[in-house]
């Protein structure tokens, strides 16, 4: 059997990983500023994480959601504390798309409506409703097409107000910082406008925090910069530092009903152990403050390069927009300097490293970047 060939691959086999570094099968070391696509939040193979998962696997790896799982309650309590939303409720699932799918369903169950407002260049996942709310027709199959989703221009308050007047809005879903869309930071005034319109019309504010959340921006949810709460936060990626887990953090006004949401694997013992280890390390090592500090440093330094069109982002979620003449920089960083970075089309380098990235790593990147752009 062959693999279904959907990914354009770099010709590299990763064999070992630790902290902000990975090694290939020939022993070559790479600096990882991509974090396996914003997934590695506390660093590769962190000893506390490895120990917690190993200990858990030796006790019980899986049992279904038909029995009590104190680990889920511990995770909910710690997530409430670290995220500053202690009165919210947690539903656990397995991926980002599934988190958004559940959030959109819950919103529709809540107010009985169908219309979802999403924004241009948004990415919310590949399952049926999540992909319908994603602004990329190439990945929407005919069966996913629906007129339940309306796409509005990014940060257009007048268009948002008009949409609320025109439709019975069930929910507004927005990434605090668009990732696939090229690292576009949602402005504080726009997020506050969403909050006030959702309050006025009893619609649900869904904060897609799958890429920009979990401390990456320097605050737990990047939407927190606006000083207002969303009704539902969706998360995945950094939540398990590579162990598949997703979740939604749900405001107190939503009342759970048996059977309303459900999953076989979501919130299993191993996933909870991974997610607890991540939050423990984020707290113990003060990683949100580190993400803010090293992120600000990188953003400041990168803004000094006159070759760069624009630097956008917050904390350790950074986009560097380059002109066409510098289209090779990402490849050269990887193959000449052994530094992994991400990208957004057409020519944005995306930095999504572990939140434990050090100043020394940042300087190593800046030196290599400087050589390539000059
Ligand atoms: C903002 C955002 N939402 C949703 C998703 C989907 O997550 P997953 O790939 O875990 O389904 C992603 C993944 O890149 C994302 O960046």
Burial of residue 2, with CB atoms counted within 10 A of its CB: 0-12 exposed, 13-18 middle, 19 or more buried: exposed
Evaluate whether 117 touches 205 at the Cβ level (below 8 Å): no
Is the CB of residue 60 less than 8 Å from the CB of residue 271? no
How many Cα neighbours within 13 Å face the side chain of 19? 9
Q: pLDDT-derived band of residue 39, with 50, 70 and 90 as boundaries?
A: very high
For residue 130, report the distance from its CA to the centre of ligand 1, in Å.
9
Polymer length of the chain: 374
List, in sequence order, the alpha helices (H) in 217-358. 269-284, 287-302, 329-335
Report in angstroms the alpha-carbon separations of 7 from 3, 11, 29, 178, 224.
Answer: 10, 12, 23, 22, 34
Distance separating alpha carbons of residues 337 and 66, to the nearest angstrom: 50
Is 245:45 a contact under the CB 8 Å cutoff?
no
Give the model's confidence band at 91: pLDDT under 50 very low, under 70 low, under 90 confident, else very high.
very high
Strands 89-93 and 246-250: antiparallel
Percentage of the chain surpassing pLDDT 70?
100
pLDDT at 267: 98
The dihedral of CA 359, 362, 368, 371: what is its sign? negative
Query: pLDDT for 105-116, tens place per residue?
Result: 999 999 999 999
Mutational test site, ligand 1, from 119, 134, 211, max ligand atoms within 8 Å of CB: 211
How do beta strands 177-178 and 184-185 pair?
antiparallel
**Torsion over CA of 40, 46, 49 and 55, rounded to 10 degrees?**
140
pLDDT at 55: 98
CA distance 320 to 217: 16
Domain boundaries, the chain: 14-46+286-373, 47-284
Ligand 1: distance of its center to the CA of 307 in Å? 31
Helix (H, G, I), strand (E, B) or coil at 316: coil
Q: What's the pLDDT band for 83 if we cut at 50, 70, 90?
A: very high
Best mutation site among 119, 124, 244 for ligand 1, i.e. most ligand atoms within 8 A of its Cβ?
124
How far is residue 134's CA from residue 127's CA, in Å, rounded to a whole number? Answer: 10
Q: What are residue 124's phi and psi, to 5 degrees?
A: -125, 5
224 CB within 6 A, ligand 1: no
Q: Region 182-201: what's the mean pLDDT?
A: 98
Closest-CA residue, ligand 1 atom 10, reads 96
Q: Check if 245 has its Cβ closer than 6 Å to any atom of ligand 1.
A: no
List the beta bridge partners of residue 343.
349
CB of residue 275 inside a 6 A radius of ligand 1: no
Instruction: Compute the distance between CA of residue 62 and CA of residue 288 in angstroms, rounded to an integer.
Output: 31
Domain 14-46+286-373 has CATH 3.90.1150.10: yes
First to last CA, the chain: 46
**Percent of the chain at pLDDT exceeding 90:** 99
pLDDT score at 22: 98
Question: Domain 47-284 is of which CATH architecture?
Answer: 3-Layer(aba) Sandwich (3.40)
Q: What is the pLDDT of residues 297-319, one digit of tens each?
A: 999 999 999 999 999 999 999 99
pLDDT at position 224 is 98
Pocket of ligand 1 contains residue 97 by CB under 6 Å: yes
Least Cα distance to 238 among 95, 32, 113 occurs for 95
| pLDDT value for 248 | 98
Q: What are phi and psi of 36, to 5 degrees?
A: 55, 40
Peptide bond into 346 cis (omega under 30): yes
d(C-alpha 16, C-alpha 189), whole Å: 44
For residue 52 and ligand 1, the question of a CB distance below 6 A is answered with no
CA–CA separation, 213 vs 219, rounded Å? Answer: 8
Q: 99: CA distance to ligand 1 center in Å?
A: 9
Q: What is the pLDDT of residue 69?
A: 97
């Amino acid at each position: 059997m062959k693999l279904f060939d959907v990914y354009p691959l770099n010709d590299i086999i990763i064999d070992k990983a630790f902290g902000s570094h990975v090694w290939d099968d020939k022993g070559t070391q790479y600096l990882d500023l991509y974090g396996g696509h914003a997934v590695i939040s506390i660093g590769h193979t962190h000893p506390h994480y490895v120990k917690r998962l190993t200990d858990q696997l030796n006790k019980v790896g899986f049992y279904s959601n038909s029995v009590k799982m104190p680990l889920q309650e511990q995770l909910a309590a710690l997530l409430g504390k670290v995220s500053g939303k202690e009165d919210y409720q947690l539903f656990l699932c397995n991926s980002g798309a599934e988190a958004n799918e559940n959030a959109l369903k819950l919103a529709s169950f809540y107010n009985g409506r169908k219309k979802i407002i999403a924004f241009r260049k948004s990415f919310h996942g590949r399952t049926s409703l999540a992909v319908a709310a994603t602004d990329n027709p190439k990945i929407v199959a005919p069966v996913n097409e629906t007129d339940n989703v309306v796409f509005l221009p990014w940060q257009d308050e007048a268009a948002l107000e008009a949409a609320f007047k025109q439709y019975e809005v069930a929910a507004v879903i927005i990434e605090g910082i668009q990732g696939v869309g090229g690292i576009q930071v949602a402005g504080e005034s726009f997020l506050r406008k969403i909050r006030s319109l959702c309050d006025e019309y009893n619609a649900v504010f869904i904060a897609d925090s799958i890429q920009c959340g979990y401390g990456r921006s320097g605050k737990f949810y990047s939407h927190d910069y606006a000083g207002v709460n969303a009704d539902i936060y969706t998360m995945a990626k950094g939540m398990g530092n590579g162990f598949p887990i997703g979740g939604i953090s749900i405001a107190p006004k939503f009342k759970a009903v048996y059977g309303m949401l459900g999953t076989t694997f979501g919130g299993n013992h191993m996933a909870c152990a991974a997610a607890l280890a991540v939050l423990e390390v984020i707290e113990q090592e003060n990683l949100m403050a580190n993400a803010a500090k090293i992120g600000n440093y990188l953003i400041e330094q990168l803004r000094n390069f006159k070759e760069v069109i624009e630097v956008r982002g917050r904390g350790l979620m950074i986009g560097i927009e380059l002109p066409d003449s510098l289209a090779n920089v990402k490849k050269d960083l990887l193959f000449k300097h052994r530094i992994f970075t991400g990208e957004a089309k057409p020519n944005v380098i995306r930095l999504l490293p572990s939140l434990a990235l050090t100043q020394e790593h940042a300087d190593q990147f800046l030196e290599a970047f400087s050589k390539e752009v000059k």
